[in-house]
Structure 1
Amino acid sequence: MSEKTEVNLTGVKQSQGVWLVKVPKYLSQQWDKATGEVGKISINKKQGKTEVHFSLNAELSAPAAAEEKEGLPQVPRDHPFTMHSVGGQTLAVFSQSNTDGISLEGMVVHRAECRPVVNDNYMKLKKLQIKESTKPQRLSQQLERAVTTVFKPVANHDFNLEYEKKKKSEGKMVRAERQVVLDMLFSAFEKHQYYNIKDLVDITKQPVTYLKEIMREIGTYNSKGAHKSTWELKPEYRHYQSAEEEEERKSS
């Protein structure tokens, strides 16, 4: 936005209040496919407490014909909201038109997190997402003819130097495949609810930076209270089973 761009402040004059809601990635992807209504939100009062619930449109929840053929699970429909306070922050929502006009839509009055109901169908979808994230980005390819381009030999390639540098900085610990680390973490959290990062490093034998990166995705860090400085799994990951455990469950 340039210095000369004017901002339409109609939203302030009309005292428009907006909600800032965090939604799962798969839900936003389904919304992008929609050509009409994406779902319905219900707001109810229960014992003096506000309960908000989002229900995804049935057409967006059902997998497409090609996806169904591949055995992809149905997208969860029911999503209760977890409400949070704004916390004394001043947050606003802006929009930008096709002509680059900036408008203030309103001030954030509520923050919330849209979470799915954890069931077997959701866990299948989550396991598929984790599996997709562990697929290698580079694949080998067989060439039909010999490469005739002249390459100049080098004493050591950049990726080897980078690996050696990382190995020295992180000691003897070498990153394992993401799925392997996830299985070790889920297995550990089945025994105890809380772990500090040092214990998780001892269990997985993984570098601290790599471990924290994974834990930020699947866990919550407790910065205060009785379990200060520990990690625990997010609610949607507490019923996760590795592929081996699921096979054992089916066979029994």
Structure 2
Amino acid sequence: MHECKDLDLTKASRGIWLVKVPKYVSDSWANAAPGSEVGKLKMGSKSKGMKDAIFTINNLNSDKSGKPVPRDHQFNVKKNLGDINMSLLSVQMVPADSTNPNSPLIAAAIEGKVVHRCECRPCINETYMQMNRKRIEEGNKPERQIIQLTKAQNNYKPKANHEANIEYDLKKKEEGKKIRMDKERVMELLFNAFEKFQYYNVKDLVRITHQPVTYLKEILREMCTYNMKAPNRNTWELKPEFRHYKTQGQVASSSATSSVASSKK
């Protein structure tokens, strides 16, 4: 936390104006050098009050985007502030003292109280009309426009066939067209496969037999069962009458009968 000094009230009674200015005027003030003159304010006669106050900006003919901006502006002053009391508070950092150099101080002061509220509006002249015309033209411009090309654009060249399609066609040619073989030959290939592993997926069996999926499934329904439960879900297994191996239940029963036979002896 920063240590805060006492509030300076030496300028609290000074009257100040609260002026609302256009953005290009505030930009010119922000970019001005310190202590330089940004403009001149000409006050009217005392009888008319501040109605004839004219503010002229110094050395400002265009804004950041290059649009022309008027230099003369008129102050539109409000008659009274009502029951609102406003003051200007300034806060700035000051160097720390020698006793505690690590703690910077904050100096706060009241620069004055608001006695007039006014708006700085540009005077209606030819420059002001040009500025409004530019704003209306930019506002009516569509976000997307049609531009006629004078020369061919070579950024994108269409291809007759893409690399992914070429690789897919080569893969299909390597695999060849799947032609139906005799049912006995397919069953022989399946039996040879199931001698190595007990469970197979359809994709693996298609790769082994090189047969159409529909034709292969017809043969699998005759000689295999489809597992619907874990741990071998979505796999095919030979039916019990085609198996040459024993299940766990059969192994247990055969071991039990052999033990009974040995005890009788």
User: One fold, TM greater than 0.5?
Assistant: no
TM-score under structure 1 length normalisation: 0.43
TM-score (norm 2): 0.41
